[in-house]
Amino acid sequence: MKQILLLLFCFSIIKAHATTNVSGIISTNTTWTKANSPYIVDGDLSVDSNVTLVIQPGVTVLVDSGKFFYVDGKLIAEGNTTDSIYFLAHKINDPLYYAQWRGITLRLKGIHDTSSFKYCRFEYALYAIYSEGPSLNVSQSVFKHNSVAVETHVFAPAVDCYFNINNCLVTENGKGLYNFSRYATGALTNCIISDNIVGCEDESYKGLTVQNNEFNYNETGLSLSDYEQSPDVRWNTFKGNSYAGLTFRNSPTNISGFSRTKNAPISNNLFIYNTRGLQIWDLDLCTISGNTIAYNDIGIDRNSGASNTPSYPDSLVITNNCLTNNLSYNFKENYTADFTLKYNWWGTTSIPGIDSSIYDYYDNFSSGKITYMPILTSDTGCQLVTPPPLCAQLDSVVAKATSPTTATVNWPAVPGALGYEYYVELIQSTPPTKGTVTTSNILSLTGLVPGSTYKICARTKCAAAPFIYTWVCDTIQVPTAINTVDIESPVTIYPNPSNGSFTIDLPTKEVANIVVTGLDGRVVYNDTKEGSNKISVRMIDHVAGIYLVHITQGQNIYRTRITIEE
- 8 A C-beta contact, residue 267 and residue 287: yes
Statement: residue 450 has pLDDT above 90: no
Cα–Cα dist 528/453, whole Å: 18
Q: Which of 38-42, 338-342, 397-401, 534-538 has the highest mean pLDDT?
A: 38-42
Residue 473's pLDDT is 86
The answer to whether 137 and 116 have CB atoms below 8 angstroms apart is: yes
For the entire predicted model, the pTM comes to: 0.80
DSSP string, 69-84: EEESSEEEEE--SSS-
Lowest mean pLDDT among 86-90, 246-250, 515-519: 515-519
> Average pLDDT for residues 374-380, to the nearest whole number?
94
φ, ψ (nearest 5 deg) of residue 168: -115, 155
Give the type of residue at 102: R
Q: Largest Cα–Cα distance in the chain? A: 87
User: In the prediction, which pLDDT does 448 show?
Assistant: 86
The predicted pLDDT at position 507 comes to 82
Q: Report pLDDT digits (tens) over 143-202.
A: 999 999 999 987 766 666 789 999 999 999 999 999 988 777 889 999 999 999 999 999
Residues 300-341 pLDDT 10s:
999 865 444 444 444 788 999 999 999 999 999 988 888 889
CA distances from 80 to 5, 85, 292, 319, 435 (A): 13, 8, 37, 44, 31
Per-residue pLDDT of 64-87, as tens digits, reads 999 999 999 999 999 999 999 999
- Cα separation, 266 vs 300, in Å, equals 13
Cα separation, 400 vs 485, whole angstroms: 8
